Chains A and B, each alone.
Chain A
Amino acid sequence: MDWAALRARLGKQLRSVWTPLIAIPISLLIGAGILLLSGYDPIAAYQAMWQGAFKDRIAVTEVLVKATPLIFIGAGLAVAFRCSIWNIGAEGQFYVGAVMATVVGIYLGSLPGYILMPLVLIVGMIGGAFWGMLAAFLKNRFGASEVVTTIMLNYIAIYVTGYLVTGPMIETKGLFAQTPKISESAWLPRFLPPTRLHIGFILAIIFCIVLYILIFKTSVGFAIRAVGFNPDAARYASINVRSNILLAMAISGGAAGLGGAVEVAGISYRLYQLISPGYGFDGIAVSLLVGNNPLGVIFSGILFGALRSGAEVMQLSAKVPSVLVFAIQGLVILSVVATGAYRAVVREKEE
């Protein structure tokens, strides 16, 4: 093997890891300034954050639990972004997946586990894929920008969920806005009790590997990437641009939908209004952070899971208001993306 090429390749991989490692301290520093200005003790706040993420086994597994939906969503978005489709609708696709999974998990609850469990996941995935393909269809047929349509579809999915959990599917009329639990036979096994870590996390990693192979090692992925980089050239090469857009959105939506189903079957066991605290939007950063590489998404998903976990504890124990917590999270995303862009520019220059 050619040593220089190997080193160049390794360097490239390393660089994508380095980016967040530089960005995060920077953003935390700025965050500290904001905390100080608002009258909070940044050291105590960050201590809480750190403990929230890494204090003990429970904390660490909670990070992975939070990372699971992010990894599903991020991996799917990586595919859409590679096809240059700006899917902002993972949130809605996640919701649709969660709704479908719940419906199956409740109303077909009598099925045996070995059928019900996969069925819940598959139906959730199909639901998300369908939601994604709607946007692709509107783009292909009418030229509607997917940025707009996916955001609209988010609202629809979220409000329909709100309707279902307060109306037709509510557990007890007049009580909490939530559905009953899905049949126990559909619950994803937890393998490190008493932690909540469930096999959905393993599934997520496998899913990333599958998407990585799909994108980089198959002719289907070749076409998706070709369309993403240069649709004119793709058409010239007799690659069907529209069907690839449809496919990329199906994969992306399906991934988010699967994420929703896994969340229901692995953690919440039921549907309620805030089943996603914005995973679909964090997923965008998860994917962009690692240059839309499905394998990298495993890493960045865990990173964002840790941020989320830590931020929750920071809010609870250091009494930092949630607005500030969100601001700091936003800072992290911004600086990660900014250092990424900066690095790209510098690299160009060096060459």
Chain B
Amino acid sequence: MEDYLVRMENIYKSFPGGVQANRGITLEVRPGEIHCLLGENGAGKTVLMSILYGLYKPDSGTIYYKGKKLDIHSTKDAIANRIGMVHQHFMLVPTLTVAENVVLGQYPAWKVINDMDKVHERIRAMSDEFGLDVDPAKIVQDLSVGEQQRVEILKALYHGADLLILDEPTAVLTPQESEHLLKFLRDLANRGLTIIFITHKLEEVMQVSDRVTVLRDGKVVGTVNTSDTNPRELARMMVGREVLMELKKAQTEPGKVIFLVRNLRVKDARGLEVVRGVSFEVREREVLGIAGVSGNGQTELALALAGLIEGEFDEMRLDGQLITKRDLQRLHRLGMAHIPEDRQKMGLILPFSVAENFVLKTYRDEPFARRGFLRFDAIRDYTRSQVSKFSIRVGDIEEEIAHLSGGNQQKVVVARELDRQPRFLLVNQPTRGIDIGATEFVRQQILAERDAGAAILLISADLEEIFALSDRILVMFEGRFMGEVPPDPALIEQVGLMMAGKTVQVSD
């Protein structure tokens, strides 16, 4: 009797540059279960799953699947074996329709194109059946992140999946969307699908999984039944030490106004006004949190403040200086730092090396350049010191940053932006995709910047993060602020209501 759907046995995988991503991993997944993979950034989760999905060839080790040895050389083999994967960074072609993306890579191409009507029909049927709400005719780039993810899932199911791998699907979702997804996964498991689910959020692990395997440094720490464990123990297995899940937040007295904007209006790419006249100010030694379900104008708000898209306003000041037009270099000079929402599209240049990405904003300044020539020694020294300060897992700092694990990429962005001793720090989803240890560290760093005198605007869909870091909270709904709330945990409920557009009286 075979009680495992998949057994990955003694998997080794290393990369040129000396990174050993998997060092003898054995993973067993039972049919019909939801199996969580947990581990710090760079622990080897994505690599292990990529091996199972045929993207990488292991150096050694064997995979058994449905009782037989599985020889997998490409994702085509994986799909043929009914294995589907939703990647940490989406792999959809933005300019194609949903349906075209779903059948992309199917052969023979002429036949697929000929049958496009049928494809549409089938997608619609599946979308109804699974409650995925996916329109096959839409162009992918017009979809929200959550919708794109549902397309990825539907794509996997379309090709028939007995085993579905999801790599950090909830990192980019709002809490509501995550909730929905977890229910959906449970549903799939009940229909007999087997699911491997990667996440950094322990509550999700506790809520949805049957068993958990924890990886650290490319090795298995252990596999446990979810019902026999708790978040604290999981955290300890992951990090190898006790993790404080509370922040030490010192009382500070906010100083003078550093950043101020009056009546800001911003249109999105389609010309709809999504930020509709907001005004606020952020003071020295203060974190102003902006809570809200994503898609209520936060993205555009952040981009407009950072000078990356056009916005209309009556007045904007940074450190007392009037800002009249979009002038990035000036904002930069006046001490604005910005951790953008999307690290891969904006925060990093993926084909650049880790070192080059570290000096992305300072490459023309001393000591990284002199008389126009880059000084590689200075760049490397600086990178090495930042890499160790933020414990970023990287083999060789000259290697492409695309090869870093998702969380480690995020850490590079955070490390770069925090190191500039900003006057005004604009932070959008700073801990997206990073493990709990690193989350703790990044939050601590943000508070340290606050204590050192920076004014910080924090945008996050994660209410827990907003409450943990902010001194004041503004709730955003449909492009407007619903009101201001102090970060009193007792008010979480109210904030939730305000995020849904309900007017709530909050008394201080």
Which residue numbers of A lie inside 8 Å of B, CB to CB? 4-5, 8, 217-220, 222-223, 225-226, 229-230, 232-238, 349-351
Taking a contact as CB atoms closer than 8 A, the residue among A5, A230, A349 that contacts B398 in the complex is A5
Q: Are B372 and A236 in contact (CB under 8 A)?
A: no
Q: Could you say which residues of chain A place their CB within 8 Å of the CB of B398?
A: 5
Q: Could you say which residues of chain B place their CB within 8 Å of the CB of A223?
A: 363-364
Contact with A along B332-365 (1 / 0, CB 8 A): 1000001010000111111110001000110110
Q: Could you say which residues of chain A place their CB within 8 Å of the CB of B396?
A: 5
Q: Could you say which residues of chain A place their CB within 8 Å of the CB of B57?
A: 349-350
Q: Could you say which residues of chain A place their CB within 8 Å of the CB of B352?
A: 225-226, 229
Q: Are A219 and B328 in contact (CB under 8 A)?
A: no
Q: Are B18 and A229 in contact (CB under 8 A)?
A: no
Q: Are A236 and B338 in contact (CB under 8 A)?
A: yes
Contact with A along B443-462 (1 / 0, CB 8 A): 00000000000000000000
Q: A233-B360, A236-B308 are in contact. Are A8 and B16 (CB under 8 A)?
A: yes
Q: Are B16 and A232 in contact (CB under 8 A)?
A: no
Mind listing 27 A-B residue pairs with CB under 8 Å? A5-B398, A8-B16, A217-B373, A218-B369, A218-B374, A219-B364, A219-B369, A219-B373, A223-B363, A223-B364, A226-B360, A229-B350, A229-B351, A230-B348, A230-B349, A232-B345, A233-B345, A233-B346, A233-B360, A234-B349, A236-B306, A238-B329, A238-B361, A349-B57, A351-B15, A351-B16, A351-B56
Q: Could you say which residues of chain A place their CB within 8 Å of the CB of B308?
A: 235-236
Closest partner residue, chain B, to A234 (CB atom): B349
Please report which residues of chain B, range 51-96, place their CB below 8 angstroms from some CB of chain A when the two chains form the complex: 56-57, 74
Closest partner residue, chain B, to A216 (CB atom): B374
Q: How far is the CB of A217 from chain B (nearest CB, A)?
A: 6
Q: Are A5 and B372 in contact (CB under 8 A)?
A: no
Q: Could you say which residues of chain A place their CB within 8 Å of the CB of B348?
A: 230, 233
Q: How far is the CB of A293 from chain B (nearest CB, A)?
A: 14
Closest partner residue, chain B, to A235 (CB atom): B308
Q: Are A222 and B374 in contact (CB under 8 A)?
A: yes
Q: Could you say which residues of chain B place their CB within 8 Å of the CB of A219?
A: 363-364, 369, 372-374
Q: How far is the CB of A351 from chain B (nearest CB, A)?
A: 6
Q: Are B351 and A222 in contact (CB under 8 A)?
A: no
Taking a contact as CB atoms closer than 8 A, the residue among B17, B332, B351, B356 that contacts A238 in the complex is B332
Given A218-B373, A220-B372, A233-B348, 11 more A-B residue pairs with CB atoms under 8 Å apart are A4-B16, A5-B398, A219-B369, A219-B373, A229-B350, A232-B346, A233-B345, A236-B340, A237-B361, A238-B329, A351-B56
Q: A229-B349, A235-B328 are in contact. Are A222 and B18 (CB under 8 A)?
A: no
Q: A217-B374, A232-B346, A349-B57 are in contact. Are A237 and B15 (CB under 8 A)?
A: no
Q: How far is the CB of A6 from chain B (nearest CB, A)?
A: 12
Please report which residues of chain B, range 355-392, place their CB below 8 angstroms from some CB of chain A when the two chains form the complex: 356, 360-361, 363-364, 369, 372-374
Q: Could you say which residues of chain A place their CB within 8 Å of the CB of B347?
A: 233, 236
Q: Could you say which residues of chain A place their CB within 8 Å of the CB of B361?
A: 237-238
Q: How far is the CB of B228 from chain A (nearest CB, A)?
A: 38
- Tell me the complex Cα distance, A351–B349, Å: 20
Q: Could you say which residues of chain B place their CB within 8 Å of the CB of A225?
A: 352
Closest partner residue, chain B, to A348 (CB atom): B55
Closest partner residue, chain B, to A2 (CB atom): B396
Q: Could you say which residues of chain B place their CB within 8 Å of the CB of A229?
A: 349-352
Q: How far is the CB of B395 from chain A (nearest CB, A)?
A: 10
